[in-house]
Amino acid sequence: MLGTWEVVAILAIALLLFGPKKLPELARGIGKAIYEYRKASSGLFEEEDVEKKRKKAAEEEREALVKAAKKLGIETEGKSTEEIAKEIAQKLEEKGKVAETSGD
């Protein structure tokens, strides 16, 4: 953090370099830059939160599919979530067909 004397020294040097007419423009420019930086930073944090939530939801979905697959006797090791879901759907279709034929 800058102390009082450091800020005064920086302002004095800026006044000497840019002159009294350009100093307000320079201050506005710095203010806008800081505002844009903070705005962009907060957007990045929001994007990170959304990404974390998406990943968590995907993990929960996979856990539920693996649990269902194990109940149906389907091997899940090394398979993608989509592959597991397809195998579950196939197994349920097969079970549905068996139930339909045994009910006739």
Give the global pTM.
Answer: 0.50
pLDDT at 104 over 60: no
User: Is there a contact between 69 and 87 (Cβ–Cβ < 8 Å)?
Assistant: yes
Q: How far apart are CA 18 and CA 10, in angstroms?
A: 12
SS (H, E, C) the chain: CCCHHHHHHHHHHHHHHHHHHHHHHHHHHHHHHHHHHHHHHHHHHHHHHHHHHHHHHHHHHHHHHHHHHHHCCCCCCCCCHHHHHHHHHHHHHHHHHHHHHHHC
Per residue in 31-90, pLDDT tens? Answer: 899 888 888 877 777 777 888 899 999 999 999 999 999 998 999 999 999 999 999 999
pLDDT at 26 over 90: no
From residue 103, alpha-carbon distances to 88, 93, 96, 97 in Å are 22, 15, 11, 10
Pick the residue with more confidence: 98 or 95?
95
Whose tokens are 């194990």? That residue is 70
What's residue 98's pLDDT?
Answer: 66
Q: How far apart are CA 81 and CA 67, in angstroms?
A: 12
